[in-house]
Structure 1
Amino acid sequence: MNERKKVRGLKRKIRNFKRELNKLTMDFPDDFSNDYWEIHLPHQGSYWINSVKTPFKVRRLCLQELINRTNHLIDKKPKDNQDVRVMLMIDFHYWWSTKIEIFSVKNDDEGFLFEEDSYTRWITLNENRNLAKEWGLTIPAGLKIKGIKEEIKDVELVDKEIFGGEIWLIGELI
């Protein structure tokens, strides 16, 4: 049996994904709760985009749309919100964690994004890596890119197995 069968309704899924994403990011949100706002992948994107049956070019198209909408929100950001940042977080290991975030950074404190403890570690990826080149993405001028490897150690396991994967941040990074 062929495990890579065609994904049914792919054009419809892409169209709905784009429509919902555009609708959700049409205007800059003004209803921050605790100086934070986020939107996860619309139209159950974390399920069908992550499927092994979804072609790479479709994943690339969806990532490009997320990058474009992140840039759109940055352009829509009111001028009086200088302490607010807009960022796309792409989590290749857990697609359901991929999201556009808008958050306030008072005193340029980025620490809440990268809180380490005895179970979680964040390692900056090699500066020579180029996500845009690897995926064929177009990154608008002014957006920064940062790659991180997340390592999570499960305390319940005795064999010290480590989980996690690559996370890429695109947007107004500090």
Structure 2
Amino acid sequence: MSTAIFSADNVLLSEYAENSQLLKRIWEWDFTRVEKRLLRERPNLNIQKALEQFRYFMYLCLATGPIFVPNQEIDDVAHTAIVFTEDWFRFSLEFNDGYIHHQPLDEPLQPNEAAQKLNQIEELSMSHFGRMVFETGEFVCGMITAAPVCGMVTTTPVCGMVTSAKTI
């Protein structure tokens, strides 16, 4: 497990992150199964960097509400994590008290919408981490949030998507 966010490079993290304990807990979550699957399915992906960005991204979703996925790598990690439904459900309950949903975009954002979303991500990253922690690309992914249903991906109490705790 990487501890990069607590390295000397990030010594000011607690000064920026309003809830550094939340970030620490996300960082310590075991994504081994996700990592192994990504290594098999996406051998050219920088897995450690993608997981790092995903962890920062999930922190922002949980701390601030709905935001768009800033790059394909984070989206790939999210899709892979969700495939492991039991693990993802535990992660959702641990950090959100309800299932964290992912809803892809139905169509690409218009250029002005994409610019607004990028500005939002840059502002959140700067205010929470003191630097831009994401590589950005085209918004082709969607949104993941930790707020009541109000965007592309939401974290809401179990209803609809997951109706039973039984393993099927």
Is TM-score (shorter-chain normalized) higher than 0.5? no
Between Structure 1 and Structure 2, the one with more strand by share is: 1
The one of the two structures with greater contact order (alpha-carbon pairs below 8 A, sep at least 6) is 2
TM-score by length of 2: 0.33
Give the structure-1-normalised TM-score.
0.32
* Higher helix proportion (structure 1 or 2): 2
